[in-house]
Amino acid sequence: MIRESTVERVRSAKNVFALTGAGVSAESGVPTFRGGGGATVWKGMPFDVISSAQMVERDLAAVWEWFDYRRGVLRELKPNAAHTTLAEWEEKFNDFTLATQNIDGLHAAAGLKDVLELHGTIWQARCLACDRSKSLRDERGGEQPQRPPVCGTCGGEMRPDVVLFGEMLPANVLERAAEAAERCDVCFVIGTSGVVYPAAGLAEIAKRAGAYVIEINPERTALSDLCDETIKGQAGEILPRFQI
Ligand SMILES: NC(=O)c1ccc[n+]([C@@H]2O[C@H](COP(=O)([O-])OP(=O)(O)OC[C@H]3O[C@@H](n4cnc5c(N)ncnc54)[C@H](O)[C@@H]3O)[C@@H](O)[C@H]2O)c1
Ligand SMILES: [Zn+2]
């Protein structure tokens, strides 16, 4: 299913860039938004309404309730073979950079040291007043933690440290990802529908700069035409087969 020439090309690559989306976590049990099934709805609100910048202003408590629910689901889930393979690649390639649209923290949980989290992380809160962040990892499932969390530095209210609909991506993270896309010789596009920008634009940057772009996805996506090849299948089955 994977061409030998593709395996060779990847094995001999010096600079590798990978862009991942919700599909890389699907085999861990994290629901994707677009691939299969209708839109996610939380208490009657579509996900792009409850996960929006306006909602932080209108109803911060509801935003916390939604992200607390999602964190509760994620707490039980483990990285899959796609995450662990990509974590190994960080050690094996000369230059390996991974940028993810996922906020689930599963790349880091698999041991990847340097993850560019384009859309932030569900495991952190950020102060609305002074911008400092704090980890939510230590909060235990059973107890009811303070909501919204209070900033230890200025006493301000905190919000989830994720990029919501209608918000900009963290500029320094996007910049590092764009640099890596620009200098890579092989670019992987894994488990993303490729419709959310500017994240999807990273594959376009890599292609324009001359990289060989390999998509891994069971379905065709908005980026399939741009890719040099699409390997149809589940990320957790395909990635380990490269045997880097
Ligand atoms: N895990 C998470 O943190 C998570 C989950 C859902 C959505 N989101 C957010 O929603 C947006 C969704 O965009 P997106 O493109 O990441 O996701 P998406 O839901 O739009 O698309 C998921 C893609 O993954 C593919 N897919 C499904 N199972 C797969 C598998 N086993 N292996 C490989 N591919 C598989 C689907 O065919 C689809 O193309 C992002 O902005 C992201 O921040 C995050
Ligand atoms: Zn503060």
For ligand 1, whether the C-beta of 165 sits within 6 Å is: no
**Is 107 among the residues known to form the active site?**
no
Is the Cα dihedral 145, 46, 190, 200 positive or negative? Answer: negative
85, containing H or E segment: helix 81-92
Check whether residue 145 and residue 224 sit in a common domain: no
The reply to whether 65 and 89 lie within a common domain is no
- Write the residue with the smallest CA distance to atom 35 of ligand 1: 23
What is the structure's pLDDT at 31? 77
Residue ranges making up the domain that contains 47: 35-76+125-162
pLDDT in tens, the chain (244 residues): 899 999 999 999 999 999 999 999 999 999 776 544 455 677 888 888 989 999 999 999 999 999 999 999 899 999 999 999 999 999 999 999 999 999 999 999 999 999 999 999 999 999 999 999 999 998 865 678 899 999 999 999 999 999 999 899 999 999 999 999 999 999 999 999 999 999 999 999 999 999 999 999 999 999 999 999 999 999 999 999 999 9
- From 162, 190, 214, give the residue that closes a domain: 162
Q: Residues 174, 225: one domain?
A: yes
Residues 130 and 46 in one domain: yes
Residue 34 CA to residue 139 CA, distance in Å, equals 30
Name residue 40's amino acid: T
- pTM value is 0.94
DSSP state string for 40-82 = -EETTEEHHHHTBHHHHHH-HHHHHHHHHHHHHHHHT----HH
Query: 68 and 186 share a domain?
Result: no
Q: Which of 32, 34, 124 to mutate to test the pocket of ligand 1 (most atoms within 8 A of CB)?
A: 32
Two structure tokens written together for 124? 């952190």
The label of the residue with tokens 């709805």 reads 41
Where does residue 106 rank: exposed (0-12), middle (13-18), buried (19+ CB within 10 A)? buried
> Is residue 187 located within the same domain as residue 234?
yes
Q: Residue 37's pLDDT is what? A: 46
- Does 144 share its domain with 192? no
Look up the CATH number of the domain holding residue 41.
3.30.1600.10
Give the number of domains in the chain: 2
Give me the catalytic one of 34, 119, 159, 207. Answer: 119
Distance 217 CA to ligand 1 centre (A): 10
Same domain, 216 and 230: yes
Last residue of a domain, one of 133, 162, 191: 162
141 and 244 housed in the same domain:
no
Give the Å distance between the CA of 231 and the centre of ligand 1. 16
Quickly count: other Cβ atoms within 10 Å of residue 108's Cβ.
18
Closest C-alpha to 102, from 85, 119, 89, 114 = 119
Tell me the best of 20, 80, 189, 192 to mutate to test the pocket of ligand 1, counting ligand atoms within 8 Å of each CB and taking the most: 192
* Nearest of 190, 231, 166, 229 to residue 99 by alpha carbon: 190
Which atom of ligand 1 lies at the shortest distance from residue 192's CA? 15
Nearest atom (ligand 1) to Cα of 101? 43
Mutate to test the pocket of ligand 1, among 193, 230, 238 (most ligand atoms within 8 A of CB): 193
Boundary residue ending a domain (109, 143, 162):
162
Same domain as 184, residue 234: yes
Co-location of 215 and 184 in the same domain: yes
Q: Is the CB of 193 under 6 A from ligand 1?
A: yes
- CATH code, 207: 3.40.50.1220
Residues 8 and 98 in one domain: yes
